[in-house]
């Protein structure tokens, strides 16, 4: 594998799911974790990220509202976003071009890794120098 790993932020308030996603993705990516929008905003501001994976059902600000905030921020407008949903009605509020993929629970870990790899590969194909210099 190349020295440069794509950097992924996982915004998930459930610690069990967070640990599970991190365990599977940390084999191939630099993974950052956030349990809420405040932690995620701090990481989005201070780290160069290649992908955001977020759960729609979040405390304080739901995932749809957070996506709208991200898309309004010029420096983050092109950040690829994958959404995880546990069957929330919020999924119906998503605008298709605002996210690159949706995983509905329950899903297999192989589905998660395949969608992440596909998204990262697409980003690299479109913007060859897009992969961050995460360490």
Q: Are 53 and 43 in contact (CB under 8 A)?
A: no
- Domain membership of residue 110 (yes or no) is yes
* Terminal-to-terminal C-alpha distance of the chain: 14
Tokens linked to 115:
């969608």
What's the pLDDT band for 94 if we cut at 50, 70, 90?
confident
pLDDT for residue 2 is more than 50: no
Contact 123, 52 (CB under 8 A): no
In contact, 5 and 50? CB cutoff 8 Å: no
Residue 17 lies in a domain: yes
Contact 54, 66 (CB under 8 A): yes
Residue 132 in any domain: the answer is no
In this model, does residue 4 exceed pLDDT 90?
no
Residue 61 lies in domain:
7-126
| Nearest one of 61, 47, 127 to 90, comparing CA atoms | 61
Tell whether 91 is covered by a domain.
yes
- Give φ, ψ of 13 to 5 degrees: -85, -15
The enclosing domain of 93 has a CATH number of 3.40.50.2300
Q: Is residue 22 part of a domain?
A: yes
Three-state DSSP class for 85? strand
**Number of domains composing the chain:** 1
At 108 the pLDDT is 94
Does 133 reside within a domain? no
Burial class (CB in 10 A: 0-12, 13-18, 19+), 17: middle
pLDDT of 97 over the 80 cut: yes
Q: Which residue has the higher pLDDT, 87 or 5?
A: 5
Q: Is residue 92 part of a domain?
A: yes
Query: Considering the domain boundaries, does residue 1 fall inside one?
Result: no
Residue-wise pLDDT for 42-90, tens only, equals: 999 999 999 999 999 888 899 999 999 999 999 999 999 999 988 777 7
């Amino acid at each position: 594998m190349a020295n440069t790993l794509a950097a992924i932020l996982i915004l998930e308030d459930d610690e069990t799911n967070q640990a599970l996603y991190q365990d599977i993705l940390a084999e191939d990516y630099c993974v950052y974790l956030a349990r809420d929008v405040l932690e995620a905003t701090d990481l989005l501001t201070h780290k160069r990220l290649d992908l955001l994976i977020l759960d729609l059902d979040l405390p304080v600000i739901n995932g749809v509202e957070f996506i709208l905030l991200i898309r309004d921020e010029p420096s983050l407008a092109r950040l690829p976003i994958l959404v995880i949903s546990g069957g929330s009605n919020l999924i119906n509020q998503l605008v298709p071009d605002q996210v690159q993929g949706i995983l509905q629970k329950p899903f297999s870990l192989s589905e998660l890794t395949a969608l992440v790899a596909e998204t990262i590969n697409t980003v690299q194909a479109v913007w060859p120098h897009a992969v961050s210099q995460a360490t």
